[in-house]
Structure 1
Amino acid sequence: MKSLCLASASPRRRELLALLGVEFNVLPVDIPEFPHPQERAADYVQRLAFEKAMAGLARSGADVALGSDTIVVCDGDILEKPENKQHYLRMLSRLSGREHQVLTAVSVVSNAQQYTELMVTKVNFRPLLASDLEWYWQTGEPLDKAGGYGIQGKAARFVCSINGSYTAVVGLPLCETEALLERVGIVATSSKVSGETK
């Protein structure tokens, strides 16, 4: 049976991948996360997913590695994780009462095969009050989230609708991920997760 490495420190991606019933090890990777000059958002997020997967493959010794990345895009601008409270407030204020896009790429690589898929999901927020923004910041949730929010957490109350993949917004599009894993010979076997690799 082929071994699989999840090249991510994200607990959300670990939980989602476990839902597919595949065995895997976890190996967080650290790569530079900033767009190249003139790089489009879609190209940027796919590049990061691929670079994470390749780093995981090189370091883990696994047969297959999976990398993923998620960004929030509003008016063509990439909204990354908030650097501080003021940065968070600017981002959430832009998302208030309107639609934005969440782009998630997943990359599955082996020594012989490389596949990357991109999912684009439209998310609509209700108008947010200053009290909403202050309350949500105080929860601590925005700190490690692209765009300053997590749809699977307390920010769910801000979401009017989504058009696309919910699991992609959380961090890993399960339907596409399962299909990619099957292409490299990894099929769901059990829900057991191997011990995390440091």
Structure 2
Amino acid sequence: MSQAASDGKGSYLPLVPRLEACPFCRQLFEAGEVSTCPECDLRLADPSDLPPSADALAIDPTPPLPPHLQPLPWTYLGRGRALLLGLAVLGLLAFFAPWVHETAPELRDLSGFHLARRLHWMWAPAIAFFVLIPLVLTRRSIHRMRGARLSIAMLATIALLTVALRVAFTPATSSLRPVRFTWGAGLYATATIALAALAASARFGGRLDPLPASTPPVDTPPRAA
């Protein structure tokens, strides 16, 4: 006797058997009839767990990506890409500019590069600005740009903290070995660039709205003569 279910009005309707499908040929079988497809020798699965078949995609193709997920050209410079790339290049140049003008015990100018050769933690600004360039270049969609905001802010913070530590911890001076110096333009430029990059990171990628909706081209049938 076939199983039936009530429809709530006193009548009974036959139960629809649960089906399982082959992941390859999509042939359907009743649950418990067989465990594998007799033709493909693949284990059957619930049809709802399988991706759309080729025939289904031909009838109803996959919708296009939302605008904020679509990849942009490598040369795209909007939404803060050009600004951050320019700041990263300027940060690298500032690393090789004079950070310290020393007048005692020697008369010399020391760049960030020269300081980093003596204090290894001083490499941090150069590494941060160098990493910033590929980080920005590889973010080619609005979604990925916005997702990189925190990473960019951390890199800018690293460069800014390095400047703060350099200013806070200065060489000791004494009557036997006097140390006299002034800070150079490279240090001030690095701090300014790091602050600008930190501010720009909050707007990297821009807003999600309004974004133009992208629609696939529709083939227009030829008009009758």
TM-score w.r.t. the length of structure 2 is 0.25
User: Higher strand share goes to which structure?
Assistant: 1
With CA pairs under 8 Å and 6+ residues apart, which has the higher RCO, 1 or 2? Answer: 1
Larger-Rg structure: 2
